[in-house]
Amino acid sequence: MTGEKQPVRVAVLVSGGGTNLQALLDALDDSPARPARVSRVISNRTDAGALARARRAGIPTTVLHNSSDPNELLAALDDAELVVLAGYMKLVPPAVVARFRRRMINIHPALLPAFGGPGMYGQRVHAAVLASGVKESGATVHYVDDEFDRGPIIAQARVPVEPGDTPATLAARVLEAEHELLPKVVLDLARRLS
């Protein structure tokens, strides 16, 4: 049928196991009613588990040779309309950020603006949250800019910090929130872009 809207093409940048990628794949299935689909998965690491998830789903993958080379990343992003950083541990070059301004998002495992910035990833974030004594943590989706975790916030999901939490137990609860929040934000942004 001509004139039918095509799903928004989403490129996902990853460095790790890919559970947020899997949450996106599950939410953005091939149903024609979905406004978006993951069209490519890009990693800075050849051993990223997310690449195996993408390959099992039949999604093309790219491993960057030099993640700080804007031309290489732009070429890998190709025809993407929306870019999602889902556990991507590298700073995106400014030229790439400029090309995808307000169309590149990141998910962070804390309530920004607290507990973000260089070196704040994985268990470090959750250990810092626990050390601070705050009563809640959560996940934040924000637009990517030229600094780690500083772009405008789009949405947050809150989870309680429980007595006796360890970085691992808090991380598990926050990850569940991430898996719900990220697909919702991607679907919302895709509807606006289509």
33 in any annotated domain: yes
CB 35 within 8 A of CB 190: yes
pLDDT for residue 104: 98
pLDDT for residue 31: 53
- pLDDT above 90 as % of the chain: 91
Question: What residues act catalytically?
Answer: 108
Which of the residues in the chain have pLDDT under 70? 1-4, 30-32
State the distance between the two ends of the chain, measured CA to CA, in whole angstroms: 17
Give me the sign of the Cα torsion angle 74, 78, 79, 85: negative
pLDDT for residue 3: 55
**What per-residue string of b and e applies to 180-192 under the rule 16 or more CB within 10 Å gives b?**
ebbbebbbebbee
CATH number of the domain where residue 21 is located:
3.40.50.170
Alpha-carbon radius of gyration of the chain: 16
Domain limits for position 148: 8-111+140-156+178-193
Per the structure, how many domains does the chain have?
1
166 in any annotated domain: no
CA 35 to centroid of chain Cα atoms:
18
* Distance from C-alpha of 148 to C-alpha of 15, rounded to nearest angstrom: 15
pLDDT for residue 29: 78
Task: Mention every residue, 6+ apart, whose C-beta is less than 8 A from residue 188.
Answer: none
pLDDT for residue 8: 95
